[in-house]
Structure 1
Amino acid sequence: MTSSSFVLVVSTIADVATDDVIRRLAAASVPYHRINTEDLPFSRSLTLAYGEKRQGWLELDGQAIPLPSAIWYRRLRSAAKPEGLDHGIYQFCLNESRSALVGGIAGAHTRWLSHPAAIWQAEHKPYQLAVASELGFRVPRTVITNNPLAICRAAADFGRMIVKPARSGHILHGGVEHAVFTSELLPAHLEDLQGAELSPAIYQELVPKRFDIRVTIVGTRIFAARIDSQSDPDASVDWRHTANPKLPHHQVTLPQSLQEALLRLMARLGLKFAAIDLVETPEGDHVFLEVNPNGQWLWLDDMLNFGISQAVADWLRSEAR
């Protein structure tokens, strides 16, 4: 195995999208190594060396891993806490392990889908909004605050208003992970904003929708799906909130000017992969909502036969032979 014929995949054992791409790499006889991040540090050993000659770029369980031609930085997931280990020590070990892995590979001069620094920066929704606005996208009127008075002023200004997290769409509560969906802030909510000061959130005008648009970009390939979210009350504010497996989806070709703008956004964010959410208004305008730099796509391949998994595999293998 040489460094010119090898793909490194950093993901988790639970990510079925990674499984799908791995199957395609294997079918094409592309050599790869997959790191499931929940294996570190308690199940596998990691070795990085500087200032001395080593056979490999890094070692996992003593196995030399050469510098890959491409790295797919997909997901991080924490290892389970070993029984009896103090929680503070456990958290310290996780943080140190993550720093060693991500910090160790981040300096690799190779092709990235996408680089950890770009992903980390792009995960911050306030930053996304600023960049999209600067590039000329229409964005919803927005206030990001933990001040109840500012929330009330925004509601008076915007009329119907939604709230969503500034970064993470998941929260761990009582040992159980919960999704945090975009929700409409109703007048009754404004009467009791106790707790709103504990965390800033994004408050935006509720943009009238004809459709939601989900755009998945791999390199320069654009896959756009029109989601008929307004046909289901549970999906009308956040289409992810529905339990309806038959929510209508359709392939759509975006206007050329919008496609070019989306690729400029990707370049500005330093991303080679992203899932981007837009709104198509009743008038046919497109409004930027947010970017997920490592979003899901398998349901789109299943429903619309997009071939996004194959596009990811093709991107990774393009210089891996």
Structure 2
Amino acid sequence: MTVLVLTCEEDVTADAVVLQLRRRGVPVLRFDPAEFPGRVDLAVRVIPDGQVTGHLVTPGGRVALEEIRSVWVRRPGTPGAHVSAEQRAWITLECERALWGALRATGARWMNDPDALERSRHKLWQLATAARAGLRVPDTLVTTDPGEAARFQKTHADAGSGLVVKSVTGRHPQDPPLTLPTAAVPPDADFTGVAACATCLQQRVPKRTDLRLTVVGDRCFPAYVTPRTPTLDWRFLPADASTWVAGEVGGALRAAVRRYLQEAQLAYAAFDFAIDEQGDPWFLEANAGGQFLFAEIETGMPMTEAIAAWLAIRRE
């Protein structure tokens, strides 16, 4: 049975996992949904007894739908990318429903299910779910009300802590996408501008380090970063300005993370935690499509192998 990898053409992370799967002797078919229709063809039939048959034909080969064991949704494009602009919206909707519907109907295992992926992109949902799972989350306000923002800042100033501001989505939709950094809110901040757009303000956690906890099924891979200079957002450090090292996490954190994944219906996520001065973790984000290869390269933890092993399990 075949593993289906849905990602863009240039994706070195997917390259590494595909190589691991092939070393295991597992057939792999990789393509970008943006190539459908056009370079990718689909035929699917649902017969009256509920059986689903059909096939996908891509530049990399052909697979029967009933022979797909698992689907890795990595960095997929949007169907209909190559059709004329005046018809794109309709064709995209039709082709998305056809492709994703066919793959759902196969009964294959997902990393991660598209519906779960979409839900998990919402930062406020993440924070509430993390708190229910038993993770510590910073006090957070998303608002378009300047007065609420000012009162929120005063509350935390009185408590002796400051605020940070961050994007609600994490990425600005320009081409290529722009990632917006987490930034400190100055004590004399003017909040008038929040009326123009929903703004995310969050309690600042005095931290001594950051933890990137990558979870693949039941396997946890903790990596701690040691920046050479203090930073609010390690993503914007130069490559030579920090060091990632493998570490350990306690059983309580592992259990809470698993509860989060169970509610989120995710098989994979990259969790970001701020580790405070007492060594306690604060949940910041769980990225269901988060990068892991950079941490694997520096720490040697076998995350690529873990993903390949999960994808290679035959469906029931």
Question: Scaled by the length of structure 1, what TM-score is found?
Answer: 0.87
Q: Are positions 1:9 and 2:5 aligned together?
A: yes
Does the 8 Å contact 1:47/1:58 carry over to 2? yes
SS in 1 for 2:286: strand
Q: Are positions 1:114 and 2:112 aligned together?
A: yes
Does the 8 Å contact 1:158/1:204 carry over to 2? no
Provide the residue aligned with 2:25 in structure 1: 29
Quote the Cα distance in structure 2 between the aligned partners of 1:114 and 1:71. 8
Provide the residue aligned with 2:76 in structure 1: 76
Residue 143 of structure 1 is aligned with which of 107, 121, 141? Answer: 141
Cα deviations by residue, 1:141-179 (Å, 9 ceiling, x for unpaired)? 11111222222221212232112222x322234x44211
Does the 8 Å contact 2:274/2:283 carry over to 1? yes
Provide the residue aligned with 1:277 in structure 2: 272
Q: Give structure 1 stretches of 5+ with no counterpart.
A: none
Aligned-pair identity (%): 26
SS in 2 for 1:245: helix
Quote the Cα distance in structure 1 between the aligned partners of 2:53 and 2:289. 28
Q: In the TM superposition, what is the alpha-carbon distance from 1:192 to its structure 2 partner?
A: 5.6
Quote the Cα distance in structure 2 between the aligned partners of 1:95 and 1:183. 37
Quote the Cα distance in structure 2 between the aligned partners of 1:63 and 1:250. 41
Does the 8 Å contact 1:41/1:94 carry over to 2? no
SS in 1 for 2:152: helix
Judging changes above 3 Å, is the alpha-carbon distance between structure 1 residues 176 and 155 closer, same or farther for their aligned structure 2 residues?
same
Quote the Cα distance in structure 1 between the aligned partners of 2:258 and 2:173. 34
Q: Are positions 1:169 and 2:167 aligned together?
A: no
Q: Are positions 1:308 and 2:303 aligned together?
A: yes
Q: In the TM superposition, what is the alpha-carbon distance from 1:202 to its structure 2 partner?
A: 2.2
Quote the Cα distance in structure 2 between the aligned partners of 1:79 and 1:102. 10
Judging changes above 3 Å, is the alpha-carbon distance between structure 1 residues 64 and 306 closer, same or farther for their aligned structure 2 residues?
closer
SS in 1 for 2:306: helix
Judging changes above 3 Å, is the alpha-carbon distance between structure 1 residues 162 and 96 closer, same or farther for their aligned structure 2 residues?
farther
1:172-187 pair list within 5 angstroms: 172-173=173-174, 175-187=175-187
Cα deviations by residue, 1:264-285 (Å, 9 ceiling, x for unpaired)? 2111211111100111100111
Tell me which protein shows more strand as a share of its residues: 2
1:1-321 pair list within 5 angstroms: 5-51=1-47, 56-60=53-57, 63-67=62-66, 68-78=68-78, 82=82, 85-86=84-85, 88-159=86-157, 160-166=162-168, 168-173=169-174, 175-187=175-187, 190-191=189-190, 193-194=192-193, 196-229=194-227, 231-233=228-230, 236-319=231-314
Q: In the TM superposition, what is the alpha-carbon distance from 1:90 to its structure 2 partner?
A: 2.8
Greater CA drift, 290-299 or 262-271: 262-271
Judging changes above 3 Å, is the alpha-carbon distance between structure 1 residues 81 and 11 closer, same or farther for their aligned structure 2 residues?
closer
Quote the Cα distance in structure 2 between the aligned partners of 1:145 and 1:243. 32
Quote the Cα distance in structure 1 between the aligned partners of 2:196 and 2:142. 13
Q: In the TM superposition, what is the alpha-carbon distance from 1:243 to its structure 2 partner?
A: 1.8
SS in 2 for 1:228: strand
Amino acid at match of 1:20: A
Judging changes above 3 Å, is the alpha-carbon distance between structure 1 residues 47 and 182 closer, same or farther for their aligned structure 2 residues?
farther
Amino acid at match of 2:256: A
Amino acid at match of 2:64: I
Judging changes above 3 Å, is the alpha-carbon distance between structure 1 residues 89 and 306 closer, same or farther for their aligned structure 2 residues?
same
Quote the Cα distance in structure 2 between the aligned partners of 1:97 and 1:55. 18
Greater CA drift, 12-21 or 59-68: 59-68
Amino acid at match of 1:240: R
Quote the Cα distance in structure 1 between the aligned partners of 2:281 and 2:43. 48
Amino acid at match of 2:167: P
Cα deviations by residue, 1:243-301 (Å, 9 ceiling, x for unpaired)? 23340211111011111211121112111111001111001111111100111011111
Q: In the TM superposition, what is the alpha-carbon distance from 1:63 to its structure 2 partner?
A: 4.3
Quote the Cα distance in structure 2 between the aligned partners of 1:298 and 1:108. 30
Quote the Cα distance in structure 1 between the aligned partners of 2:244 and 2:155. 33
Q: What RMSD, in angstroms, separates the aligned Cα atoms of the two structures? A: 2.6
Q: In the TM superposition, what is the alpha-carbon distance from 1:187 to its structure 2 partner?
A: 4.1
Judging changes above 3 Å, is the alpha-carbon distance between structure 1 residues 278 and 45 closer, same or farther for their aligned structure 2 residues?
same
Quote the Cα distance in structure 1 between the aligned partners of 2:80 and 2:91. 11
